[in-house]
Structure 1
Amino acid sequence: MTVSKEVIETILDRILLTPVKLYALMVSQRPNHTLIEIELDQLDHPYGSVSLLECEQVSRKLNEELEKISPDLNYTLKVSSAGAERKLVIPEDLDRFRGIPVRLVYKVEGSGNKEGIFKILDRKGGKIILEPFSKRKSAASKKKEVNLELKDILKGNLYVSI
């Protein structure tokens, strides 16, 4: 017996309560076994981190629903937070994580790809306004705004500095 990704998404739509939402779902079917991996997002947390309790609640409710529809299903369920250094969904996350350090890989005309750590200041149309991020306090006075075209951003993730 197997269960489809669509069926699991439908169940999650019913059981996830705002501010917790689905970030990623992976379903791997193997003979006689299914691996279900769920990553959650917490819309009220500055970094989107989900608590262990929230993961437990989703896991328990999903287990109950899967038992109802497919009691013979042999599966492993992993429910976790999307993570503090999660991949960004661009451009949506650029608004959501304003003021938080992000690592971006972007195209520079004639120079290839560059990588940098920035704080998101604003987004206006197809441009994003950034401030270079530095852990050193002395560097704060030298910071200049950086303007990038959204189309030039290749990928990004949240950056947690320690």
Structure 2
Amino acid sequence: RRRASWRVQRALAQATRARGRRRRSVWRSGKRMKTKGPMLRYFGSATPPGIGDGGNGGGVALRDVKWGARALAAAEEVLGEHFGDDIAMFAFKVSPKGYVYVRLDKLTNRYGCPGIEEIENFNRLYKQKLDEIIERGEIPLDLALEISSPGAERLLKVPGDLDRFKDMAMRVQYHAEGDGLISDQMDGIFMLESVDIQAEHCVWKLADVNENRAGKGRPLNRKQKDWRLQTSFDAVMKATLYLD
């Protein structure tokens, strides 16, 4: 029986429940190695994230890899057979060099982060499934696998993700609008106040975080508390969760 020659047996990146930050560690040939920086860089990707890129922007990116659809189907089978409705696939990506990236989203967690046990369990079951497929010659023998959570770096879809994370501070990059004109890109740390799906706009208020305060330990002043920003959905260029 042939089994996969896993260049990387496991690569787990889990955001801690309290802060939403990902832990990074890589296993190669049974030896644990610490690594710095985003794990996708370790696997050779330095492309800035975008919605639907198969990474922190979520979605599926098969990149015309012939065996990609089969590897995706196997991941979906593992989720459907062994996990509940609260675990979903946030992102899936493969590369021609044999890398497989899966990011799992826990819908009932504040930050969308599965527990380390859930990530390890999926990793084990998915490897077993891939071994069976490799045995039948449907995908390459030599693969590298990364299973992780989206982390706080996940790109939020506007307006799709706004309601889910409405109680959390977000870093928003946007184009200011007025008198039919669009300004240069601006950014701020906001809380969502309201969303109007029909009018396709949202209203933001300043988040009560250190970066917005006049001084350390001081709350927002009255003017800051009353300040509001209205943006159209199209004016929001990028939104991510913010960790103070």
TM-score range, shorter chain: 0.7 to 0.9
Unaligned residue ranges in structure 2 (runs of 5+): 5-64
Alpha-carbon deviation of 1:139? 0.6
Residue 240 of structure 2 is aligned to residue 157 of structure 1 = yes
**Relative to structure 1, is the Cα distance of residues 74 and 152 closer, same or farther in structure 2, using a 3 angstrom cutoff?**
same
Give yes or no for contact 1:49–1:84 (8 Å, CA) kept in 2.
Answer: no
Q: 1:140 to 1:54 in 2, by over 3 A?
A: farther
Q: Structure 1's 54 and 3: CA in aligned 2 closer, same or farther, altered over 3 A?
A: farther
RMSD between superposed Cα atoms in Å: 2.0
Worse-matched range after superposition: 61-70 or 88-97 = 88-97
Q: 1:84 aligns with which of 152, 156, 168?
A: 152
CA contact (8 A) 1:134 1:140 kept: no
- In the alignment, the residues of structure 1 paired with residue 231 and residue 116 of structure 2 have an alpha-carbon distance, to the nearest angstrom, of 37
Tell me how many residue pairs correspond in the alignment.
Answer: 158
User: Structure 1 residues 88, 140: CA separation in 2 closer, same or farther (over 3 Å shift)?
Assistant: farther
Unaligned runs of 5+ residues in structure 1 are: none
Residue 19 (1) aligns with residue 86 (2): yes
Could you state the TM-score of these two structures normalised by the residue count of structure 1? 0.88
Which residue of the partner structure matches residue 116 of structure 2?
52
Ranges of 4+ aligned residues in structure 1 off by more than 4 Å: none
Matching residue of 1:122: 194
1:73-121 Cα deviation digits (max 9, x unpaired): 1111110110123111222111211111111111123531111111112
1:133 maps to 2:207: yes
Alignment pair present for 1:100 and 2:171: no
Q: Is the 8 A contact 1:99 1:121 kept in 2?
A: no
Q: Residues 66, 110 of structure 1: CA spacing in aligned structure 2 closer, same or farther, 3 A cutoff?
A: closer
Alignment-mate amino acid for residue 190 of structure 2: F
2:68 corresponds to which residue? 5
Q: Spell out, residue by residue over 1:14-44, the C-alpha distance to the aligned partner (whole angstroms, 9 max, x if none).
A: 22232111111121122xxx11111111110
CA distance in 1, matches of 2:72, 2:142: 18
- AA in 1 matched with 2:242: Y
TM-score in terms of structure 2 length: 0.60
Greater share of residues in helix: 1
Deviation string for 1:39-68 (max 9, x for gaps)?
Answer: 111110111112211111111111011111
* Aligned with residue 230 of structure 2, among 144, 147, 150: 147
1:113 to 173, 185, 205: 185
Cα distance in 2, alignment partners of residues 28 and 12 from structure 1: 16
* One-letter code aligned to 2:168: I
